[in-house]
Amino acid sequence: MGPKGLEIIGNDAYLNGYKLESLVKQYTTPLYVMDEKSIRSAIEDYQTYFKGNYFKSSIIYASKAFLVPKLVEIINEYHLYMDAVSIGDLYVALQSNFPPQDLVFHGNNKSFEELNFAIDNKIGLIVVDNYHELQQLIAICEAKKTTQNILFRLNPGINAHTHKYIQTAKYTSKFGESMYDEKIIDKIMNTIKASTCMHLKGFHAHIGSQIHEFGAFRAEINKMVKFQEKISTKYQYDLPILNLGGGFGIQYEHHEKNMSIKDMMMHISQRLDEVLKENNKIKEIMIEPGRSIVGPAGITLYTCSQIKKTYGGTNYLFVDGGMTDNIRPALYNATYECDIVNKMQEKKDILVDVVGKCCESGDIIRKNVYVPHIDNGDIMMVYATGAYNYSMSSNYNNLLKPAVILVGEEITVMSKKEQLSDLLRLFK
Q: Which residue's CB is nearer to ligand LLP, number 174 or number 234?
A: 174
In a 10 Å sphere around its CB, with 0-12 CB exposed, 13-18 middle and 19+ buried, how is residue 79 labelled?
Answer: exposed
359 has catalytic annotation: yes
Q: Is 166 in the site for ligand LLP (CB under 6 A)?
A: yes
Residues found in the chain:
428
- Pick from 285, 264, 295: which is nearest to 46 by CA? 264
Is-contact 140 115, C-beta < 8 A?
Answer: yes
Write out the binding residues for ligand LLP, residues 6-35 only, by CB under 6 A: none
Selected from 328, 357, 401, 417, the binder of ligand LLP by CB under 6 A is: 328
* Other residues' Cβ atoms within 10 Å of the Cβ of residue 255: 6
Is-contact 374 307, C-beta < 8 A?
Answer: yes
Is-contact 87 114, C-beta < 8 A?
Answer: yes
Write out the binding residues for ligand LLP, residues 236-275 only, by CB under 6 A: 245-248
Is-contact 232 268, C-beta < 8 A?
Answer: no
Q: Which residue's CB is nearer to ligand LLP, number 295 or number 372?
A: 295
Least distance to ligand LLP, CB of residue 339, Å: 22
Binding letters toward ligand LLP, positions 33-72, x by CB under 6 A: -----------------------------x-xx-------
* For the chain, counts of helices (H) and of strands (E): 11, 21
Q: Is 296 in the site for ligand LLP (CB under 6 A)?
A: no
Q: Is 329 in the site for ligand LLP (CB under 6 A)?
A: no
Cα gap 272→207, rounded to integer Å: 17
Q: Residue 149 pairs with which residues in a beta bridge?
A: 199
Task: Please tell me which residue in 141, 304, 338, 359 is annotated as part of the active site.
Answer: 359
Least distance to ligand LLP, CB of residue 287, Å: 8
Q: Is 356 in the site for ligand LLP (CB under 6 A)?
A: no
Q: Residue 82 pairs with which residues in a beta bridge?
A: 61, 103
Cα gap 188→296, rounded to integer Å: 40
Cα gap 31→24, rounded to integer Å: 7
Within a 13 Å sphere around the CA of 309, how many CA atoms are in the beta-carbon half? 5
Q: Is 386 in the site for ligand LLP (CB under 6 A)?
A: no
Q: What is the 8-class DSSP label of residue 259?
A: -
* Other residues' Cβ atoms within 10 Å of the Cβ of residue 333: 11
Binding letters toward ligand LLP, positions 388-407, x by CB under 6 A: x-------------------
Binding letters toward ligand LLP, positions 174-213, x by CB under 6 A: --------------------------------x--xx---
Q: Which residue's CB is nearer to ligand LLP, number 201 or number 343?
A: 201
Least distance to ligand LLP, CB of residue 73, Å: 20
Least distance to ligand LLP, CB of residue 234, Å: 26
Least distance to ligand LLP, CB of residue 346, Å: 31
Write out the binding residues for ligand LLP, residues 90-119 only, by CB under 6 A: 106
Using CB under 6 A as the criterion, which residues of the chain lie in contact with ligand LLP when the complex forms? Answer: 62, 64-65, 106, 166, 206, 209-210, 245-248, 288-292, 328, 332, 388
Q: Which residues are catalytic?
A: 359
